[in-house]
Amino acid sequence: MKYWGLIFLEAAATGVRPVQPHRAPPLHQVDPARVWAKLHRLILVGTPLARHRRKRHLVGGIILPMVSPGMRNEHASGRLGAMRDDEGMPLVGDGVTPGIVRIGDTVRRPVRPFTATIQAFLAHLHSAGFTAAPMPLGVDEQGREVLSFVPGDVPREPLPAEATSEAVLVALARLVRRLHDAAQGWSPPSDAVWAELPGTAGIPYVDDDGELVSHRDYCPGNVVFRDGLPAALIDFDLARPTTRLYDIANALYWWAPLLHPADRPPALTDADIPHRIAVFADAYGMTPRQREDLMPLARRMLHRFHRTARAAAQADPVFRRFWDEGVKDRLPRAEAWLVQQAPAIAAAISSGASVSDKRPEGPAA
């Protein structure tokens, strides 16, 4: 049932056992705002463990290199570790967010200051019919966030050849479009909390228009494949108010990709990037205005990536390691490459500028 996660979310927030599935109330009877308020109090006030974890910084990233090759059957948080009977199966990723485990069909993660806000957003997505994301299930007895486990294959960098086809771009573009359509119109709570990278608080955002809340971090480890195509999104930690265009540019950075040939996966070293971006733009249904504004926005985005990566490296040892392992070279090369290639990309996507802003074909998520 699409609304069952909201029932458990309310149960977690109130401490009341949910009714049995066959007696669950219809979705329209569940008030997401009331659920959010109760969950917010529970996460940020309710337990000593939560109060302790409230002091933790988010260490997640939009520019982090993923080092495990190929496609693995796993959750976005990383490959499966050894089973521990008392704590579940550890999900080991890039070392950014420790303490993530899988227990049955759920994932347990440390609570952070933004957890309640993101759970409220995920609850909205499910209520709007977008099921290609984790279902929020509240907080467990240990004060950990609980989400539904999302099965599938998660690619790691460098992207394997099977994750670089035009069919993959089309499926991802349609997935992002469905996410945007489901997210449109959701108003975050007035006291919503959003994540940011360590050391980056003073760096202005380039997507602060806030037309909707969306994912903003489409790195390969956050895209779940099924039957060889993108089918779901995970790790919404960096979601915040943004624009459709920024979200598109973020996805293209990883999947076109907007990188110098020296930094692309082998299968895309000689790829026609303008053509690949045009394929994505057509599949999403980008408007003429979005196509016109894409390259200027992408250049500002890459410049901010560079600034935030440097600042995070100065503030946090985990990000220092990422910086030293290649980010410090990859981002300047990407900026210079995009300046050179922007005219060709703009020309390629303008040929499809007559495409109207319509919903993509295909089943809803």
pLDDT digits (tens, 9 = 90+) for 87-141: 688 876 655 677 899 999 999 999 999 999 999 999 999 999 999 999 999 999 9
| Residue 70 placed within a domain | no
Half-sphere exposure for 197 (CA within 13 Å, toward CB): 29
| Residue 71 placed within a domain | no
Domain boundary among 101, 125, 148: 148
Indicate the number of domains in the chain: 2
What is the per-residue pLDDT across 139-176, written as a single tens digit (0 to 9) for each?
A: 999 999 999 999 999 998 899 999 999 999 999 999 99
SS3 label, residue 253: helix
| Residue 22 placed within a domain | yes
What is the per-residue pLDDT across 302-341, written as a single tens digit (0 to 9) for each?
A: 999 999 999 999 999 999 999 999 999 999 999 999 999 9
**Phi and psi angles of residue 62, each rounded to the nearest 5 degrees, phi first:** -105, -5
The conformation of residue 262, written as its DSSP 8-state character, comes to: G
What does the alpha-carbon distance between residue 170 and residue 284 come to, in Å, rounded to a whole number?
A: 8
Domain span at residue 197 reads 156-350
What is the per-residue pLDDT across 339-354, written as a single tens digit (0 to 9) for each?
A: 999 999 999 999 765 4
Domain identity same for 11 and 135: yes
| Residue 257 placed within a domain | yes
Domain identity same for 137 and 180: no
| Residue 358 placed within a domain | no
Residue 187 scores a pLDDT above 90? yes
Residue 256 scores a pLDDT above 90? yes
Domain identity same for 132 and 249: no
Domain identity same for 268 and 342: yes
| Residue 270 placed within a domain | yes
Q: What percent of the chain has pLDDT over 90?
A: 67
Mean pLDDT of 245-269: 98
Domain identity same for 107 and 168: no
pLDDT of residue 99: 86
Mean pLDDT of 212-224: 97
pLDDT of residue 43: 44
Domain boundary among 91, 114, 148: 148
pLDDT of residue 164: 98
pLDDT of residue 126: 98
pLDDT band for 209, please (50, 70, 90 cuts): confident
Mean pLDDT of 183-211: 95
| Residue 12 placed within a domain | yes
Question: Which phi-psi region, left, alpha or beta, contains residue 12 (left: φ > 0; alpha: ψ -120 to 50)?
Answer: alpha
Domain identity same for 96 and 143: yes
108 forms beta bridges with: 101, 146
Domain identity same for 118 and 138: yes
| Residue 363 placed within a domain | no
Mean pLDDT of 4-19: 35
Full DSSP string of 119-141: HHHHHHHHHTT--SSPPEEEE-T
pLDDT of residue 10: 39
pLDDT of residue 52: 34
CATH code, domain with 247? 3.90.1200.10
Domain boundary among 116, 148, 180: 148
Mean pLDDT of 256-276: 98
Question: How many C-beta neighbours within 10 Å does residue 23 have?
Answer: 7
Domain identity same for 135 and 166: no
Domain identity same for 160 and 259: yes
Domain identity same for 171 and 315: yes
- Average pLDDT of every residue of the chain: 80
pLDDT of residue 91: 78
Domain identity same for 144 and 172: no
What is the per-residue pLDDT across 32-87, written as a single tens digit (0 to 9) for each?
A: 455 455 455 544 444 333 333 333 322 222 222 222 336 655 444 333 333 443 46
Domain identity same for 96 and 236: no
pLDDT of residue 249: 98
pLDDT of residue 22: 29
| Integer angstrom CA distances of residue 258 from 36, 90, 173, 204, 255 | 37, 33, 15, 22, 8
Mean pLDDT of 270-290: 98
